[in-house]
Amino acid sequence: MIIFPAIDIIGGQCVRLVRGDYATASKVAEDPLETAKKFEAAGAEWIHMVDLDGAKAGYPVNTEIYENIAKHTHLKVEVGGGIRTPETIRAYLDLGITRVILGSAALKNPQLVADAVRQFGADRIVVGIDAKNEMVAAEGWLETSNVHYIDLAKEMIKAGVKTFIFTDISKDGTLSGVSTEQLRKLRDAVGDQCNIVASGGVHTIEDIRICRELGLYGTIAGKSLYQGTLDLSEAIREADSIVIRPMTIADYDAAYAIWTACQNGLNNLDDSREGIAKYLARNPNTSFVAEENGVAAGVILCGHDGRRGYIQHMSVDPAYRRRGIAKRLLERALAALKAEGIHKAALVAFKKNAGGNAFWEAQGFTLREDLNYRNLTLTEMTRIDPDYL
């Protein structure tokens, strides 16, 4: 489960509200960028940001702040508030924002949501569902509709949405605990079709445990971090529901499904059940599966010939991306190779896999253009890392 530390902005200042009431806005930190850097130092990989001015105005107001954080930290930034058009979505993504949150637009302009998912991808679009007494609110929570929050979630799933942020406005900014029952109802209704992020009411580490036990994708923490009732580093450790364990042939069907979902290059011989069984028999200790609540989220198939390690497949299910799973799988495999006396590893990947190749380069692999394998033009990536050696 991901912990999303939150920064809400009014007039360029970091603030928090109580139950969405703008009149309760209180300053909680001096500088947005420095606050984001502190969150990053505590171990956060994401940051949740809301343009409260934009939510009320209906268009972005504090854009420069979000751009600055995206440029000067390694945090993945998600932003909401005042996003009403495809042009605004594109502008934010072009600034380095990882994904945008559509709130009022989901209620008032569902076609925009469907178009945005189709144009930018489901991993770049989040729908925020904010509810008062289980009815969806909009326009900076200044209006309440007659639409039930679960009904809106179901409609948005039909539009292709994969990630929701659910806020019980009665809980927001109150430190009164998460809205367990409403979150459970949402999970039971649609949790097998989407990622759910809890927002509102987080107070102590117990709220993090509750959300983790509910099997949620993430939890947003704001006021609790600023008032010191929740320690971010502890929350991140407590929230970690991803387990990395050795791969066995019993994982074959799940692994094959992930490879297929990722459009990996497969062949009928080496990647058959029999082929993978032989691979694992030769190298039983160097391949791993990442799973959450018993569901496979990623897999790395890694072996060696006694001299050099080979990463045959490394994939993360698209539904679990942007959670650091690929890096953790790689680190575990490299550590396993090192334990067997292997200090050099290579990966064979399709040259066209630009996104995947960028990941490997970021981990310290270098590209070579001179490998040809089974009449396919491929790229070999070789890691030479002093710390690894």
Residues annotated as catalytic (active site), given as ranges: 8, 130
Are residues 40 and 75 in contact, defined by beta-carbon separation less than 8 angstroms?
A: yes
> How big is the CA angle at 160 (ends 265 and 292), to the nearest 5 degrees?
60
Are residues 74 and 80 in contact, defined by beta-carbon separation less than 8 angstroms?
A: no
Task: Give me Rg for the CA atoms of the chain.
Answer: 22
Are residues 196 and 216 in contact, defined by beta-carbon separation less than 8 angstroms?
A: yes
At 109, the amino acid letter reads N
Calpha distance 15→38 (Å, rounded): 16
Calpha distance 239→216 (Å, rounded): 10
Give the residue carrying structure tokens 């502190």: 38
Calpha distance 84→103 (Å, rounded): 9
At 106, the amino acid letter reads A
Calpha distance 219→235 (Å, rounded): 10
What number of CA atoms fall less than 13 Å from residue 1's CA on the CB side? 27
At 325, the amino acid letter reads I
**What is the DSSP pairing of strand 2-10 with strand 46-51?**
parallel
And the tokens for 242?
């991803």
Residue 383 DSSP symbol? E
Torsion on CA atoms 307, 245, 41, 15, rounded to nearest 10: 150
And the tokens for 22?
């703008």
Residue 162 DSSP symbol? -
Residues ≥6 apart with Cβ < 8 Å to 34: none
